[in-house]
Amino acid sequence: MRSVIFTVFACCPGVVLAQEGPTFDCAQATHEAEIAICENAELAALDRRLAETYGAALAMAEGLDAGAETAVAELKAYQRGWIGGRDACWKDSDIVACISDAYLRREAELVAMWMLEEPVGTSVWMCDGGPEVVTMFFDTELPSVRFEQGDIEDTGVQVMAASGARYDSGGWYEGSFGRSIWIKENEALYREASPNDAEYGCVLVE
C-alpha cells in the first residue's frame, strides 16, 4: 500500500484540484494528451494524484536548509520536461496506456528521489572494481528504487526481466540516463549512467 508521509494538494500556485477532473481546465485543453486525460476518469485521477506527489516534493525542496532555490528550479524544470514527454504520448498507438505509464513512472521517481515514503528495504552492494552502491526500495504502484553512489542520487523503476528484479533510471535527472541494477538474490549487475556506461558485478554486503 502507498503511504505518503504527507500530502500537499496543489502542484503550483492557483491550481485547484477538481474532485473528478484533472488539475487543468479541460475547457482549455487542446493537446491530444490533455484531451485523452479529460475523457478518461482513471487518467484524471492519476493527474490529481501526481499533483499531490509533486506538491509534496516541491515542499521538500523549498524546505532544504541549503540550495533550496536551485533545487526548486531544477524540480520545476524536470516537471516541465516530464509534461512534454507525457504529451508526446499522442504518437503512441495506445495513448491511454502510454499516459498512464508516464504518470506512474513520474510518481515513482518523485517518491524515491525525495523520500516521500519510508523505503520498504535497503541494500548495500560492493561492486567488483567499482563503487559501493546503496539501493532503497519503495512500494509505489510502479515499484521504484533510489540509488546512492558517493554523492550521486538517482532513481529507477522496475522493468521486465527474464529473472530476478531489474530497475532502470528514466533519465529525468542530470547524469542519470542508462543507470540500472539487475538483482538476482545476493548478486547484482550494476550499470553506471551515460557517458560511462560501465558495468560492475556486485555482491550484497548489507
Average pLDDT over residues 174-185: 86
Q: Is the Cβ–Cβ distance between 72 and 62 less than 8 Å?
A: yes
Q: What is the pLDDT of residue 18?
A: 43
Q: What is the pLDDT of residue 87?
A: 96
Packing angle, helices 41-62 and 95-114, rounded to 10: 20
Q: What are the strands, taking DSSP E only, across the chain?
A: 121-127, 132-138, 144-149, 152-159, 165-168, 180-184, 187-191, 199-204
Q: What's the mean pLDDT when you consider all of the chain?
A: 89
The C-alpha angle with vertex 189 and arms to 120 and 110, in degrees rounded to 5, equals: 40
Give the span between the Cα atoms of 61 and 105, in whole angstroms: 20
For the segment 40-97, what is each residue's pLDDT rounded down to a tens digit?
Answer: 999 999 999 999 999 999 999 999 999 999 999 999 999 999 999 999 999 999 999 9
Cis peptide before 143 (omega within 30 of 0): no
Question: Structure pTM?
Answer: 0.86
For the segment 113-122, what is each residue's pLDDT rounded down to a tens digit?
Answer: 999 999 999 9
Q: Is the Cβ–Cβ distance between 169 and 178 less than 8 Å?
A: yes
Q: What is the pLDDT of residue 184?
A: 96
Q: Report the phi/psi class of residue 178: left, alpha or beta, with left for phi > 0 and alpha for psi in -120 to 50.
A: left
Residue 4 binned pLDDT confidence (cut-offs 50, 70, 90): very low
- Measured in degrees and rounded to the nearest 5, phi and psi for residue 129 equal 70, 15
Is residue 16 predicted with pLDDT exceeding 90?
no
Give the span between the Cα atoms of 199 and 178, in whole angstroms: 11
Q: What is the pLDDT of residue 53?
A: 98
**Furthest-apart CA atoms within the chain: distance in Å:** 57
The DSSP result for 17-69, as a single string, is: --SSS-SS-GGG--SHHHHHHHH-HHHHHHHHHHHHHHHHHHHHHHT-SSSHH
Percent of the chain with pLDDT over 90: 80
For the segment 129-165, what is each residue's pLDDT rounded down to a tens digit?
Answer: 878 999 999 999 999 999 999 999 999 999 999 999 9
80, containing H or E segment: helix 68-87
